[in-house]
Structure 1
Amino acid sequence: MAKKRSYHDACGIAHGLDLVGERWALLVVRELLLGPKRYGRLRADLPGIGTNVLAQRLSELEASGVLRKRRLPPPTSATVYELTDWGYELEPLLRALGRWAIRSPDHDATAHLSATSFLLSLRTNFDQGRAGGARGKYELHVGEEVARVVLEDGTLLVERGSQEQPDAVVTGPPTLLARVVYQGYDLGKASAAGDVEVEGDVGAAGRFLSMFSLPAPVGATSGPSGPSGLSGPSALPGPSGPDA
């Protein structure tokens, strides 16, 4: 493996870029923020990355202590990649970066959006003012990901896993769900068109999906046209959604 480049600068920012500043490195981190993934799942969720580049980034991030490789016990016996505790500390940095970058007039809301990026955008762009004192439990099926959502006392929990007795279950691809959440695509119309499926309390689902907002683009006085990602908490990480 070629030796990594370095800024040879004592500044913490420079050293941080030495650790995670290579192309694709932060997006690999983004895709692991909801939990471990196999190599093949990472490759599918980052369609623009080459196989050799992904392998190199994983190796570099492991060597730096940002992630680790783990073998699942039988009967699965598969290898997964997961962030270390230190690696998870990158989440608020990625969310802040995504919320900052979404204001760029050059943001392409139609580009690829992974399920993880969309779910992380919910953490990033949750608007307590819109939520008020609402409470609820939801289950989201976004691409390959299943997430449980708990809304309570002005706070929002979004994490991987199923939800017991949810008020509603919402299913759809990340790009179309991002249109509903961030671009004004009416949930009823999305459901009628077969783009999004809602089981349970449709009204509650609609209210929940309206509790997110984006910062105005640079130089604009009105709201932006596409979501922030972390891209993906809550985005690092739009019709594609957030991109971190």
Structure 2
Amino acid sequence: MVGRRKYDDGCAVAHGLDLVGERWALLVVRELLLGPKRFTDLIAGLPGISPDMLTQRLRELTDAGVLRRRRLGPPAAAWVYELTRWGAELEPIVLRLARWSSRSPGMRPDAPLSTDSLVLSLKALFDGTAAADLRAALALRLGDDQFVLRIADGQLAIARGEPHQPDALLDTDQATLLALLRTDRPLDEALASGELRLLGSRDVVEKVRRLFPPPAPVPLADRS
């Protein structure tokens, strides 16, 4: 098998690309930012990657110290991959890259997203200034995936898992959630159609949905 090509450059940027610059590597990191996943979960979140390619990337990232493999105890008793503490430090880099690239005129808002990618995009687009006076916990259920969004002091924290006394719970699908975040679609319309189930404070939901404005595309003049 042909060995990996390296930049053989003393620049730290080049070395960083040696670590996570191979195709799919940074997307594997993205899929693990919200917590551990099994191999099958990673395959589901990365449509287009082959099992062999994913195995290779997981091996390389493990060898580099970015992630590790761990066996969960009963009742799960499954092997999962998770970021190391050092690997988790890639989060602000991934989010900043997402925010930067979302300003590209070539960005396709209709392209498919993994669930984790959608949820992480909330962190990338979060407007902390607009949320300065808001303190809230919002539970989000997207199919089999559950997350808790906590907003306080102009900061947003997102964790995977069951909610504990959230101010509101949204149970919906990706398309409906994106429509509520990206457009002025009324909550009543989504509720009446059955595409959305809302428990708790409607006022909190209305405030939270306004905190993720898409950045304006880069003007043509600024790209020349």
**TM-score, normalised via structure 1 length:** 0.85
Whole-Å separation in 1 of the counterparts to 2:6 and 2:61: 15
Q: CA deviation at 1:28?
A: 0.5
CA deviation vs aligned residue, 1:69-105 (integer Å, no higher than 9, x gap): 1111133221000000111011111111110100111
Q: CA deviation at 1:185?
A: 3.2
Q: CA deviation at 1:154?
A: 2.1
1:96 alignment counterpart: 96
Residues 1:207 and 2:203 aligned together: no
Look up the equivalent residue of 1:65 and give its one-letter code.
G
Whole-Å separation in 1 of the counterparts to 2:203 and 2:32: 32
Whole-Å separation in 2 of the counterparts to 1:187 and 1:48: 34
Whole-Å separation in 2 of the counterparts to 1:32 and 1:183: 29
Residues 1:161 and 2:128 aligned together: no
Look up the equivalent residue of 2:96 and give its one-letter code.
A
Higher relative contact order (CA 8 A, sep 6+): 1
Structure with larger Rg: 2
CA RMSD of aligned residues (A): 1.6
1:119 alignment counterpart: 119
User: Contact between 1:71 and 1:77, CA under 8 Å: does it hold in 2?
Assistant: yes
Residues 1:21 and 2:36 aligned together: no
**Percent of aligned positions that are identical:** 46
Whole-Å separation in 2 of the counterparts to 1:58 and 1:111: 25
Q: CA deviation at 1:18?
A: 0.9
1:60 alignment counterpart: 60
CA deviation vs aligned residue, 1:130-178 (integer Å, no higher than 9, x gap): 2241221211112332111222232222111222211110122233312
> Higher mean Cα deviation, 172-181 or 31-40?
172-181
Structure 1 segments unaligned to the other structure (5+ residues)? 221-244
Whole-Å separation in 2 of the counterparts to 1:2 and 1:82: 27
Give secondary structure in 2 for the equivalent of 1:128. coil
Q: 1:1-244 maps to which residues of 2 (within 5 A)?
A: 2-219=2-219
**TM-score, normalised via structure 2 length:** 0.92
Give secondary structure in 1 for the equivalent of 2:130. helix
User: Contact between 2:132 and 2:152, CA under 8 Å: does it hold in 1?
Assistant: no
Q: CA deviation at 1:204?
A: 1.8
Whole-Å separation in 2 of the counterparts to 1:197 and 1:15: 47
> Higher mean Cα deviation, 13-22 or 132-141?
132-141
Whole-Å separation in 1 of the counterparts to 2:37 and 2:58: 12
Structure 2 segments unaligned to the other structure (5+ residues)? none
Look up the equivalent residue of 1:138 and give its one-letter code.
L
What number of residue pairs does the alignment pair up? 220
Whole-Å separation in 1 of the counterparts to 2:13 and 2:199: 46
User: Contact between 1:149 and 1:158, CA under 8 Å: does it hold in 2?
Assistant: yes
Whole-Å separation in 2 of the counterparts to 1:186 and 1:219: 31
